[in-house]
Structures are given as structure tokens and as C-alpha cells.
A and B are shown apart, each in its own frame.
Chain A
Amino acid sequence: MRREPANRISEKGLTVWRIHGIFYTLIVLVPAIAASVLAYIFEGPIWIYIVSGAVSVIAGFLLIFLFPKIRWQRWRYEVRETEIELQHGLFIVKRTLVPMVRVQHVDTSQGPILRKYGLSGITVSTAATNHEVPALQMEEADELRSRISVLARVAEDDV
């Protein structure tokens, strides 16, 4: 692999992902609890409790701790004069190169959780593909957005 892009995303992004992880864990937890309750009512075998408990704990560990951490450590981006380079992925390291010439527009977007932490996502669109940097400090995202749009305007070429 080539040299890694220079910048990391905001550390608070990790917190946001952990919160997402909690939601996902809850989704796993619901059937686990349902199974346990049913097992209690119908006096099911003991292993149902054990499996439900283990699945919940493992899911919680992976979704809240491990995966966000790996993702955060992997996430890097760099905006240079002529191109944007991104690196992300969980099990698969993905390195994306988007030339400035190809950038059609840049958006920043912010959900409720991101807003609470003063973060913002930024999406770079080419004629065919979209690329998102998920969590940046709000000022940084705004600054980056205007910088990309200026750089993209300077670079000229047709579709």
C-alpha cells in the first residue's frame, strides 16, 4: 500500500461510533431478551440463557469497543491541491483517490448525534461516485468544504 494519508478524523467521532454501537447492540439485545423471557415462561433449557447472554456480550464488545476503534484508527484523509485521498475500512483497507478535477460538489451534513458533539460529515461527489468523511470538527469540515470547492473550481476539465 502507498503512504497513508496524513489526517485522522476527530477523536469525538470515535465516541459517536460507540453510541451508534450501543444502538446496534440494543437491536441484538431485543431478540436475546425475548429468547430468555420465553425460556423462563416455558421453562426452557439453561443453555438458552447462556447463549443469549454470550451473544449479547460479544456483540456489545465488538460493536461498541472493537469495531469503532479499528475503524477510527484506520480512517485517514488528506486533501491535497490536486486530489483527495481517503483510507477507511474495517477488515478491508480501502484507499480511494479522487482527483480535484472530478469533484462536482461537496456537502457537509450533520445528524443529531454529530451535532451534539460539534461534528459534521463531509461528502465529496464526482459525476459517478460519492465519498464521505464521516466525522470532522465542524469548523474543520466547513473550512475543508470551501477549500475543496475552491480547488475543484480551479481544476478544469470536462466530464
Chain B
Amino acid sequence: MMSEKNRLHWVTAVIELLKTLKEAIIPLLVIVVANGIGRERSGNFWLDNLTILIFGAFIVITAVAGFIKWKRFVYWFEDGELRIEHGLFVKKKRYIPFERIQSVDYTEGIFHRPFGLVKVKIETAGNSSVLEGAEADLTAVTRAEADRVSAVISEAKRRRRAGVQEVQEDGAEAVGVFPAEEPEEEVKTLFRMGRKEIFLLATFSGRIGLIFSGIAIFLSQFADILPFDVIYDEVVAFIRFGVFMVAAVVLVLMLVGWILSVAWTYLGFYGFTVSFDGDDLFISRGLLEKKRVTVPLKRIQAVRVSENPFQKLLGYVSVKVHSAGGSVKEAGAAIGLFPLVRKREVNGLLSELFPDIETSGELAGIPVRSRPFYYRLDFIWVLPLTAAAGYFLFPYGLLALLIIPVIILLGLWQHRSAGWRVNDRQLTVRWREFTLHTVYVSRKRIQSMQEHQTIFQKRRNVATVTAAFKSGIMPSKAPIRHIDEADADRLMDWYDPRNRLQAPSPVEGTPAAEGE
């Protein structure tokens, strides 16, 4: 039994065409510039219009290719699999078992809007075929169809979870035949970003750095011009005026760029909503292009709360989740769960979403004697630099010395902010770069743990412990730097499976003597 073979919407052909054109725009421009401009006419029609001909041929071929791609692309459900076939000369088939499907994401582009369509992106867990991309895209289907696909897949997964062994072959029909055994858990909206938050986020993520660098360039230009001052008075007046104009234009451009980037971020995050149906998280956002990302809860490896000092001044923090699997493109990237959220709300939200995570416990600090380690290493590269700057750029180079107190203060700050905690099944690590990060990771999500010690650390009896967990297809690490050696050993013991096996209790993670 199989469902009928489904086609994509015809807009697919248009989208494919535009996508190819977008990718080919630069080579095409090169051809146009190289061929078409400033050449005298030879009278030969074919030669004179070569560029346009190439252009036209390219567009026609691309259009035909897009059309064929749409025409040949079919998908259907069979034997508990999503099956896709496409290709004209080389027929490609991809069969994806429902169990392997991790998430079904919707994206709604500008071309999708008028027809009420969405792009469905089906992601699998595998990082096996990295190059192929272990996923399938349905470029344009109707919203209803997308919901049907999504329902079939989640239904199949739910039935498997419920322990029904004989999976009904026809997934599509099954939706109608079997109402879910358990009443469908309704999707609950957990978090919604207000306009003010989105605007703040956009302001922060907007290229503030760009403006500063712009001002720096402006100033350096100005300084370069100064020596002329003495010699060519009039010229300088002109040049200055010119420079001022240029700088003003640059500044205005930059301001516009910044406003655009703020606007872009604002549109991208517009209506940012996180909802939750008991198994999966749905993150949807966007005004012009709506995106919906599904994150299966059980794939989440770790939760990270980041407190940027500037955002924290306004009482906001951000939360990301590290999820295993997902596509290559977002390799290693954590998924923004709450891009900006009030600090006092964050623990409540987290405990609602992840009841297992303990966010309240008091963290153990870093011993006082390891304070120097937090800034000492930085001197290895800073000292020669400041020395060189001081020597070669004599009076002003000495300003580089100002870096030293900054580094020491940052080190002291990092030392004071860092902390860690273990309970019977969770590791909490807090460390500061400039932003303060707190990672909550359960012991069974830690892939490996490493304790390391330099000879200097050994002298002071301290050691560093690093816990590695999976994030996308890359590892991510939580460092606990320069803690007491005995504590480091206790942490390793806490992770060591041997110590858990010996304990009779069946509960995973019997409380050992915890380092506190």
C-alpha cells in the first residue's frame, strides 16, 4: 500500500530558476563586462550580441532545468518511509524511514506567500552523508499538504514510541484510521518576544562595531591629511572639505547600513515564538520570510545561558540550546531558544521546558590561589606586543601599556565569575569570556571529560577540567578552569562510570561524594 505520488507546486520551477540565477549572477556580470562593454561593432549580428545570447540561452536553459526538476520531483509515503524521486537522466531516489526523521521545518519565502505555500525541510539525524546533506527539501507545497506530511511523520513516530510493533504500512491513511492513542497534546506557546525585545536584540546584533570602525577610519584619514596643513594651505582647505564630505558620506552610509541591519534583524525575528508540544520545540519567526524550526527535546544535549554585560544592564540574558544532529550548514551552532529574555523569567521558563535541569543550586567558586592563572597566560603575547609598540612607535606606542591593567581586570573578573556545580546527574559550568556563560549539561550527555594540568598548575595544586558534549556535528566544550586538584579528581570520579556501577541503586547517577 502506498499513498499517491505527490507533486510540488509549480512555483518550485520559478524558485529554482531564481535560485540558480542568484548563484550565477557574478559570473554572468563578468561575462557582460568582459564582452559587452566598449567593443566596437563588427556588423556580425551573432558576435555583437554574443553577451545577450549567452544570457538568454542561460536563462532559457535554467528555466527548462527548473521546470524539469519540478516535473520529475515526486514524493510519497510507503512502508513507513518518505520516498522521494527526482532527476531526468539520472533518476535519484531517497527513502527516509520515519524514525530517522528528526525534524520537519517550514520556511515561507516571498514567493510562497501569494499561493499560501511553504517550503518543507526534512532533517534527519545522520551526519553520515555529510556532503549529500542528510535531508530532503520539498521546495513548495501547500500549507495543508505540509501539515499532512508533518502529521504523518509525527504520527508514525508517536506510534513507534507507544510501542506498537507492527507499523501500519500506509502512513498517510493511518492518520485518518488511527486517531492518536493518547489525546493529541496541544501545542503550548511558551515564549514570545515582544516588540521592545526584538528591537533591543536588533540594536545589539546590528553592526555597532561597524560604526566604531567607521569612525576610526575617519579619524585615521584625518590624521593622514594633517601634515599637508603646513604646506598647502588652500589645497588643504579643499582637501579637508573633500575629506569631510567623504567622511560624512561614509558615516551616513554606515548609519544607513546599520539601520538596515537593525531593520533586517527586526524583520527576521519578528514574532519570535517558542512553542512546545511535549516532545518537540517549535521555534518560529520572521515577517517576510517565516521560518519554523523543530527541535526534538530529546536531542537537546545542553542548555547555555549567556549574559552579555550590556544586555544584562537592561536585565536581559539569552539562552541557546545545543542539539545533536541537524544539518551541516548549522554545524556546531547552538540554536537560539530565547534570543533575549528577562533574567528573572529565565529560570522559570527553563524549568518548565526542562524539568530535569537544576538551575538554582549554589555554584562553587574558584580557589583564590588560582587567580593569577586567569591573566598570566595572556601576558605571553601581550608583553612582546606592548614592548614592540612602545619601542617602535615611541611616545604613542606606550599607550599600549594601558592594555595590561585591562587584561588583569578582565582576568580578575573572569576568576570571580567562574563557578561549577555537580549534582547527581547534572554538571553546571559557569565561565566568562566577556559574556558570562552558564552551561547546564546532564552527565549522560557528556561525551568525554578531560582533566589537564600544566607544571605551573601542579605547583599550585590546581587543574582544569573540560567536559565535551555534542553540538550539531561538532563537539562543544565547557571549561572549568584552575580548580582545586582534589575537586578536579572528584569531578572525574563523578563522571567515571565505574563508580556508578558499583553502587547497588538502580537510579542512574547515585550521588557520590560531590565536590562542593
A interface list, Cβ under 8 A from B: 1-2, 80, 82-83, 89, 91-102, 126-129, 131, 157-159
Contact = CB atoms under 8 A, between A and B. Distances in A.
* Chain B interface SS verdict (over half): strand
B447 A97 contact: no
Nearest to A93: B453
Give the interface residue-count category, chain B: 20 to 34
Contact of B496 (A1, A97, A157, A158): A97
B450 A94 contact: yes
B485 A1 contact: yes
B455 interface: yes
What are the 4 closest A-B residue pairs judged by CB atoms, nearest first? A128-B475, A82-B497, A128-B470, A126-B447
Given A128-B448, A128-B474, 12 more contacts: A1-B489, A2-B492, A82-B497, A83-B498, A89-B452, A92-B453, A97-B492, A97-B495, A128-B469, A128-B470, A157-B444, A159-B470
Interface in B490-512: 492-493, 495-498, 501
A89 B458 CA distance: 14
Nearest to B490: A2
Nearest to B445: A159
A102 B497 CA distance: 11
A101 B497 contact: yes
B170 interface: no
Nearest to A130: B475
B471 interface: yes
Contacts of A80: 498
A37 to B, nearest CB: 30
Contacts, number: 82
B492 to A, nearest CB: 6
Nearest to B495: A97
Most buried by B among A80, A94, A131: A94
Interface in B25-60: none
Interface in B165-217: none
Interface string B223-263: 00000000000000000000000000000000000000000
11 contacts: A82-B497, A91-B455, A93-B458, A95-B451, A96-B448, A97-B449, A97-B451, A98-B447, A128-B469, A159-B301, A159-B324
A81 to B, nearest CB: 8
Nearest to B498: A82
Contact of A129 (B448, B463, B496): B448
Given A83-B498, A97-B492, A128 B452 contact: no
Contacts of A127: 324, 447, 470
Nearest to B485: A1
B511 to A, nearest CB: 18
Contacts of B474: 128
Contacts of B489: 1-2
Nearest to A80: B498
Contacts of A82: 497-498, 501
A128 B485 contact: no
Nearest to B493: A2
Nearest to B458: A93
Contact of A96 (B449, B453, B458, B485): B449
Nearest to A104: B447
Interface string B470-485: 1100111000000001
B493 A98 contact: no
B454 interface: yes
A88 B298 CA distance: 34
B346 interface: no
A118 to B, nearest CB: 29
Contacts of A100: 497
Contacts of A98: 447-448
Given A128-B468, A157-B444, A159-B324, A97 B450 contact: yes
B249 to A, nearest CB: 49
Most buried by B among A82, A100, A159: A159
A156 to B, nearest CB: 12
A12 to B, nearest CB: 27
A18 to B, nearest CB: 23
Given A102-B448, A128-B474, A128-B475, A91 B454 contact: yes
A97 B448 contact: yes
B497 A128 contact: no
Contacts of A93: 452-454, 458
